[in-house]
């Protein structure tokens, strides 16, 4: 299954705020579809399976993953020692496209993926064009030495950076370089997610 390329506001109306997908807000308050138009829309009880499914969909759409990609991250998080839910979030946050978005290089994770695909991002002075690349501690992420691209990214940072940077990243705005100091913490994440429900969703697989 390929990545979702349909209307993004339709997804945010159903799942809530997804900063990695889009920053736009819909003027419509109801959920999409014929069942979201009734007066009892807010009183309908969602099943336990439905709640877990929606949390899984939040991760999938926010980070722009396919179902198979997300399941691979689940298996990797299970394999490692520690809290599976937190490890899953750390794996997703350490993706190169996610870090570029967090630094404000792009308006969305899809936009950040495009920057990486076009070879505008370097890690430790080497060009990396794989958006899913897993960054490591002490990696230095920078913009390629191209004046036009650097000017575009500078303007993007001014417009897109959301509040203060998370504590696991150190950013040098003069050189457009960021250093990964540590793994991210749940409190530093922009996305509001209950990762335990996602783990429970995949518990039978």
- Say if pTM beats, i.e. exceeds, 0.85: yes
pLDDT in tens, 107-118: 899 999 999 999
pLDDT in tens, 12-63: 888 888 988 888 887 787 777 655 555 555 556 778 999 999 999 999 999 9
Q: Check residue 120 and give its pLDDT.
A: 94
Assigned fold of 95-182: 3.10.290
Name the helix (H) or strand (E) containing 192.
none
Neighbours of 33 (CB within 10 A): 10
Give the residue among 25, 163, 39 at the shortest CA–CA distance from 102. 163
Class of domain 8-91+191-201: mainly alpha
pLDDT in tens, 146-192: 889 999 898 888 887 556 788 899 999 888 999 999 999 888 888 88
Check pLDDT > 70 for residue 136.
yes
First to last CA, the chain: 18
């Amino acid at each position: 299954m390929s990545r979702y390329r349909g209307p993004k506001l339709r997804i945010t109306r159903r799942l809530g705020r997804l900063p990695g997908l889009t920053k736009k807000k819909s003027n419509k308050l109801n959920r999409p579809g014929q069942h979201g138009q009734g007066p009892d829309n807010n009183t309908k009880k969602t099943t336990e399976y439905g709640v877990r499914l929606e949390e899984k969909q939040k991760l999938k759409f926010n980070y722009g993953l396919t179902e198979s990609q997300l399941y691979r991250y689940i298996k990797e998080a299970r394999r490692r020692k520690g809290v599976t839910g937190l490890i899953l979030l750390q794996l997703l946050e350490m993706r190169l496209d996610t870090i570029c978005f967090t630094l404000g290089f792009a308006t969305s994770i899809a936009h950040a993926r495009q920057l990486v695909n076009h070879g505008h991002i370097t890690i430790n002075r080497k060009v990396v064009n794989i958006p899913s690349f897993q960054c490591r501690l002490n990696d230095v992420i920078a913009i390629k030495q191209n004046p036009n691209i650097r000017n575009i990214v500078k303007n993007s940072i001014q417009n897109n950076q959301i509040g203060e940077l998370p504590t696991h990243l150190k950013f040098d705005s003069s050189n457009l370089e960021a250093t990964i100091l540590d793994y991210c913490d749940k409190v530093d994440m922009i996305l509001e997610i209950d990762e335990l429900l996602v783990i429970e969703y995949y518990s039978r697989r």
